[in-house]
Structure 1
Amino acid sequence: MAKVKTGLSKKLLTRVLSVYFILTLIVTVGQILTEYLNAKNHIESELQTLKNTFSVSLTRAIWELNNLQAESLADGLIALPIVEGVQIRDENGQYIADKGRTAKLPPEMVMTGVMRDHPGGTFGYSFPLIFEFSGRTSHVGDVTLYSSANIIFGRIEVGVFFLIGNAIIKTAFLVFLFLNAFRQMLTDPLEELTQQISEFDVNRPESSKLHLHIEDDNELKLLQVSYNKLIDDLIDYKQKLRSARNELTDANRKLDDQNIMLEQEVARKTASLSKIMLDLEQQKDELIVNQRELRQENENRQYIEDELRKRNNELAESMETVKIAKDQLVESERMASLGGLVAGIAHDVNTPIGVGVTAASFLQERIHNLETAYQEKTLTGKTMSAFLSEANQTTELLLGNLNRASDLISSFKQVAVDQTSEAIRDVDLKHYIHEVIQSLAPNFKKTTHSISVNCPENLVVKCAPGAIAQIFTNMIMNSLIHGLDEKENGKITISVSQQDDDIIVNYSDDGKGLSEENLERHFDAFFTTKRGKGGSGLGTHIMYNLVTQALDGTIKASSTQGEGLTYEIRFPIHS
C-alpha cells in the first residue's frame, strides 16, 4: 500500500492551528495596542494636569521677566518621570527655555491647549500662559511639555510580557490537546480503514468487508456500514450481470438477423439520400455566404455602437464637470456678497469707534489733570465744575458712538450668520428686512437713492432667514448696480402683505429696466448685462433657486425699458 504524502488529519490540524494562531496573534496585538493607547491617554492626561500645577508660576515669572525662575521651573518639569522635554516661549515666540528631547514648533502662538504628535515617537501638550490683572487678560507666552513612546513602553512592559506569555501557554496547551484528539479520533481509525480497503479481493468480495474497532456512532462508523452495504450490492450485481450476459448472447444472435435485413433496406434508400445530400450541400454554400455578410454587418453595427457609447460617456463627463463648476461659481458668488457686506460694515463701524477712542483719550487726559491738581492740592471748585461738564459731554459722545457701532455690528452679525446658515427659525419679516437694509447702508452712502418699506407689524414667518437675506440683498444690489447706476435720485419700494397662508412681496425700482429679450433670460445662470465689468450673471439665478427651493415659492419679474424693474415673490408663511 502506497503511503499518503500529506495526511488528512495533519492537514486539518495544520489549518485549525493556523487559524487559532492568527486569531491569537491578532487579539494579542490588539490588547498590546489597547494597553499602549490607554497608557498614552493617561500620560496625556497627566501632562494636562501639570498645566494646572505650573501654569500660574510660569505665567507670573514671564510677566515679571524673571527668566531664571522660568528656567528653574523648566528644570523642575523635566525632572518629572513623564516629561522628556520642555519648551517655554514668550509672547513674541522667543524661547525662554528649551530643555530635553523637544521638536520644532510652528511660529504661531498657542491660544488653547493642544496635543501634537512629533517625529521620532515623541508627542507634546502645548498650552497658553494667560495673565489676569484687574479683570483683563494678557497672553504672555506658551509652554510645550514633551513625552515619548519609551515612557509608554516602560509603563506597559510587564503587561505586554504577561499577554505574550499567556498567549504562548494557551497555544502550546491547545496544540497538545488537538494532536492527541486527532490521533485517537481520526488518524488511527483512518489508517485501519485504509489498510482493510487496500486488501480488497475482487474474486472474494464477501471476505473484504470492513471490521473497524470504533465504539462511537460517528461518520467513520457510517462509512463502514455504507462500504459493507456496497459489497453486498456488488455481490448481487455480479449475479445479475451473469444472467444479463446470457440474455445478451441470445439478443446478439437475433440482432445479426435483423442487421442483414437492415443492410438491404439501407442500400435501397442510399440512392435517394445521395440526391438529397447534393441539394443540401448547395444550400449550405449559400448559407455560408449569407452568414459572412451578416457577420460583417454585425461587426459594423458593433463598431458604431462602441463609438456612440464612447461619445455618450464623454458627454456625461463634460456635463458633470460643467455642473460642478456651476455649483462652485454659485457658492463663490454668495461668499463674495458676504465679503462685500463685511467690507462696508467695517468701514461704517470704524467711524463711531474712532470717535469713541478720541473721547476716551480726552477723558483720560482730563482725569489725569484732575488727579494731578488733587495731589498738588490746587483743586478748586471751578476746576471741578469744568471737569464734570467736560466729563458729561465726553461720556454722552462716547456712549452715543458706541451704541451706534453696537447697532451696526448687531445687524451685520444677524444677517451675516443667516447668510451662512440654513437653520429654520421664526423671523419678524419687517424687522429683518430693515436689518438687511441697514447692513447694506455702506453701499448707499455715496448715493441719494431711497428705500421705502411697507410691511405689517409682527408678521412672523418660519423659514431659513439666510434665504430672505440673500434674496433682498441680491434685489437691492441689482437695482443699485444695474438699474440705478445712471440715476441720481433713485427710489426702491418694498411692499409685503399676507394672503391666506402665503406671503406676497412686491419689489420695484424706478431704474432703466430691461428689454423684453433680456427679461426672458433674466434668471438664467451666467447671463449678465455687465459682462466684462465685474458681473458674474449668478445673482438672479441664486435668487430664483432660493425662492423656488429654500422657500418653496414662486418669483416673477416684469419690466418696461426705461420704467424700472418689478419682482413679485410668493411663498408659504411656514416654509
Structure 2
Amino acid sequence: MNNNQTVPLKQSIVTHLLKVTFTIYFLVTLTVTLIHMGVEYYHTKKDVMKELAILQKTFAPGLEDAIWTLDLERLDSILNGMLEHPVIIGVKAIDEEDKGLFGAAGTFMGADGQYIQRDTEGDYEPLDTHQNIFASLFWHGFDLSHINDRHRRIRLGRVIIYSSNSVVLGKVKLGYFFLIVNAIIKTIALWVLFLWVGRLYLGQPLSRFISAIKQINWKNMAEYRIQVNSSGENEIQMLEDAFNTMITKLHLTMNEFKRAEEEVHALNEQLEQRVIERTAKLTEANSRLKIEESRAKKLLTMNQMLKEPISELVRYALESSVQHSDSEMGFIVFFDSNETIDRVHVWSRTDGYIDCEIHSQLVFPNIHSQEFQDTVENRSNRIDNDVQDIMYTSIKSGNAIPVVRQLIVPLIQESSLILIAGVANKTEDYTYYDAYQLTLLMQGLVTIMQKKYADECILEINKDLEEKTRELKASLALIKKTQNQLVESEKMASLGELVAGVAHEINTPIGLAVTESSFMEYKTTELLKKYKAGSMKRSDLEKYISTVSEASVGILKNLNRAANLIQNFKQVAVDQSNEQKRQINVNQYLHEILVSLRPKYKRTGHKISINCPKDIDIVTYPGAFYQVISNLIMNSLIHAFENIEKGEMIFNVSIQTPNILIDYRDNGKGIEQKILTKVFDPFFTTKRGKGGTGLGLHIVYNLVVQNLKGKITCNSEPDKGCQFLITVPMSL
C-alpha cells in the first residue's frame, strides 16, 4: 500500500469547502453587480430625461414660431433636425386640444398608445407593440404658446420628445462590460489563490496525518507517536495531540481488558446463582401472565354480553373478580351522578349473586364503616389484611362467616366516583397487584356498560333520524315545488314590470303628440271662424300653415319615437314569454334590453356602458338571455348602489371561440367574502323584509347553467365593486 497516497483534487475537502464558499461569494457578487448595473441604468436614464428637458429651451422658440405662422414645412424641418440629437428617437407636435397632429418625426406614440414610425417619405406606419423592454419609449412633453400683440398668452399645442431604453442601454453597456469582466477576473483569481492556500495548509497536512495513521499496528502502539510537522498551534496540531493521547489510552485499555478477562472467570462462578434467582422471577412473571390472560378472557366474555341485561353483566363481572383474586366473596357499590349510593351487588361462593337493597342492616359490605367512608372520601385503594368485627351472614346456611382480609378499590371517571368494588377472604394477603387487577376488571365493566348504554341511545337516535329523514324528504319536495312556483312568479313579475315600463316610456311621446294635435285643432277652429266671418287675411293663412307644419313635424317625430319603442318592447316581450331559440345580435339585443329597463334607472345618476363588437351573433334562448341581463342590472341597482347616487355598470363582451364571454361589473359597495359563496343560493338575500326574495341571482345561475349551457362566476371585494363572468356557447 502506498502510504503517501493523496486524495484526488475533485474529492478533496478543500475543493468541497471552496465550492460552498465560492457559491456564496458568486451569489453575493452577482447580486451586488446587478444592483450596481440597475443603479447605473437608473441614473443614466435620469440624465437622459434631464437632457430632453434642456432641449426644450433650444427648440421651443422655433417650434412656436412655425406653428403660429402655420409654416408646416419649417415645422417638419425642425422636427427632423431634432432627430439628429443622439438621445432623441422621435418627436411629435399636437394641437391645443391634444387631438390633432401638426407634425411628427421618427418613432412616437399615438393617442391609443400604439407605436408609430414616420418613414423618409412622410408615411406613418404602426410598429409591433410586442417589443422587448429596451425598445420601450419614455418622453418629455412641454406646452407651446405665443404672446400676441395684446400681450396675451395663447396656447398653441404641445410637443412631446421621445427617447427609448435602447438609448440608455447604449450609454451604459460599455460600463456594464468592464464591470462584468472585473467581477469574473476577481472570482477566478480568488478561486486559484484559495485553492492553493487550502491545499498547502489543509490538504497536505491531512494527507501526512492519514499516512501516519496507516503505519500504526498493535505491536508498536506503546511507543509509536504521530508527527505531522504542521506549523504553529492550529487544528492539525491539536488533532495530532488528541490522536496520540487516544493511542496511549487505547494501550492502557488493552491492559485493562486483560485484567477484565481474568475477572470474567470469577464472575462465571456467580452466574449459576443468578440463573436460579432469574428462574424464580420468570416463574412469577409467568404466573402473572396467566392472570393477565385470565382477566383478558373475562373482559372479552363481558364484551360479548352487550345484549344481556345489566344485572347479568354485573353478576358475571363480580363473580369473575372474586374468582380471579382467589377470594371467597365480593361486592360492587354503584353511585349516581350526585355520588350517592344507587345499588349494591354481592357475590359469594356459598350464596352466589345477590342484588341488595340499601338499608342500615347491610353488614357486608358495611357502607357505614370507617374503612368504607375513608375510601369514598380519599378515593384511594384500601388493603386490610387484618379485619376486625365484620361478618358475612350466609343466606342459604345462616352461618356467620368472619371477614379476615379485604381489598377495596374506587373507580373514578372525570373526577366523579362511579363505583367502589371489593373482595374478601383470600387465603393469602392482598397486594397492590391484586388491587391493580380488580381495578382493570372494574374499568372494563364500566366501559362495557357505557358502550351498552351508547348502543341503546344510538338505536333510539337512528329511529328518530329515520323519522326526521322522512319528514325532511317531504319538506324538501315541498320546498322544490314552492321554489319552482316562486321562480315562475319572478319571471311573470319581470314580464309585468316590462309591460309597465312600456306604458310609462310610451306615454311621453304619445302625450306630446296628443298635445300637438289638440293645438292644431284649436288653430284650425280659430281659422275656420275667421273664414266664415270673412275676416281671414293672407297673413292669418300663412301663420296657420307655418304653425300646422311645425306641429305636424312634432307629431310625426313623437309617433316615430313611440313606434320604435313599441317595436323594441314587442321583441323583448315576445322573447321573454317564448322558449324558442333564435339568432340574435348581442350588441343590438343588449341595447334593446337597456331600452326596456330605462324606466328603472333613467331618474337616477347611474350609467350603463356596453363595449361589444357589432358583429357578434349567437343562437340562443333570447328570453333566458334577457332575464340574465336584466336581473344583473336590477341586482346592481337594488344592492350595489344602495346609498350611492352615481354608479357605473359596464358590459364587456368578447369572443372566446366557441363561446362568448360577458364581463359585467359595477363600482358599487361590493360583497363581503363570508357571503360571496352564497350569492347564487336560493332565497338568500340581504334585503329580507324589504322586498327581497333571494331568487334574482339564483335564477341567473340556473338560466346560465341549465338553459344557456354556460358558466357563471362572481368576484368581489368590499368597497371595490362586483364582477360577474358569464361564458355561454355561440350556438346551442
Q: TM-score, normalised by structure 2?
A: 0.36
Q: Whose relative contact order is higher, 1 or 2, with alpha carbons under 8 Å and at least 6 apart?
A: 1
Query: TM-score if structure 1 supplies the norm length?
Result: 0.46
Q: Which has the larger radius of gyration?
A: 2
Higher helix share: 1
